[in-house]
Structure 1
Amino acid sequence: MAAGGCFCGNIRIEYNGKSVMAGICHCQDCRKLTGSIFSYSFAINSADLKVTGTPKGVPKTADSGNAIKNYFCPDCGTPLFGRRVKGDEPDGDTIILRAGIFDNPELLNTQKPGAELYTENRLDWLAPIEGAAQITGMMELP
């Protein structure tokens, strides 16, 4: 089981199972979401996720055109996960879990990104990840 949480500790996340995909995204939304030049996330099945605490959901239309909701700690602002929505309801079984929230860095070493998304937005001085699929937009998730 993988465990992590937000900066202040008020939200805890656990997931058991394997990620469907680990990936890096260079889209504008992910840059804004993380305050960095890309995001590193795991796509997981929602049934494998346990959340303790009450994250705040912020709805948005993503760069992909999908209606999404990103979840943050309402106290410290740590980005935790996101998912597609239809109205207020989940749309699909996949959750995009922010990899940086995990307590054990070894998990990050064992989950090398399988894809880079929105590669046309990757900064020129940042090299592609060897072996990762290079995708110019969003890939379809289950």
Structure 2
Amino acid sequence: MSSGSCWCGNIKYEFDGDSKHVILCHCLTCQKISGATNTANIPVARDKLTVTSGSPKSHTEKHEDGFNLTKFFCGDCGTTLYKQADADMFATVSLVQAGTLDGPAKDKISQPSAELNVKVRQPWLAEVGAAAQKQGFV
């Protein structure tokens, strides 16, 4: 069981499944959500993710590729904890933000297996070694 929390600790979650599988996404939406060059996402089956403390707020916007993306975040400190989308490829998963993992789970994160939307990756940012390079989501 892996667990995580927001910056202020008011919202906590846990999930069953592999916390090592990390995918970086460079899409413009992820850049806006994170305020950084990308997000580091751990795909988790939606039915395996449980909020154990607090109640995250949510906000939905249209992704630049046309699907609806909802981010779940702490209303106090603003930390984005996970994302969900209505696109077929994301219908059964939550995308847990790797930086929100706590304790031992954080030590188990491996090098990203893929980088998505590299067509909009910042030009000064090098690709991650053995990670598959995808122009879009597939």
Identity %: 34
Q: Name the count of aligned residue pairs.
A: 133
Deviations 1:65-112 (A, max 9, x none): 1112111101111001111138xxxx721111100001133022xx32
Query: Is structure 2 residue 21 aligned with structure 1 residue 8?
Result: no
TM (norm. structure 1) is 0.85
Q: TM-score, normalised by structure 2?
A: 0.87
Structure 1 residue 115 corresponds to structure 2 residue 114: yes
Q: In structure 1, what is the equivalent of residue 98 of structure 2? A: 99
1:7 maps to a residue whose letter is W
- Distance in 2 separating the partners of 1:61 and 1:27: 13
> 2:55 maps to what in 1?
54
Check whether the contact 1:21–1:44 (CA below 8 A) recurs between aligned residues.
no
Structure 1 unaligned spans of 5+: none
Point out where structure 2 has 5 or more consecutive residues left out of the alignment: none
Q: In structure 2, how many angstroms separate the alpha carbons of the residues matched to 1:63 and 1:22? A: 22
What whole-Å deviation, never above 9, does each CA across 1:25-66 have from its counterpart, x for those lacking one? 111111111111111111111121111221011011112211
Q: 1:45 and 1:8 mapped to 2: Cα distance?
A: 25
Runs of 4+ more than 4 Å apart: none
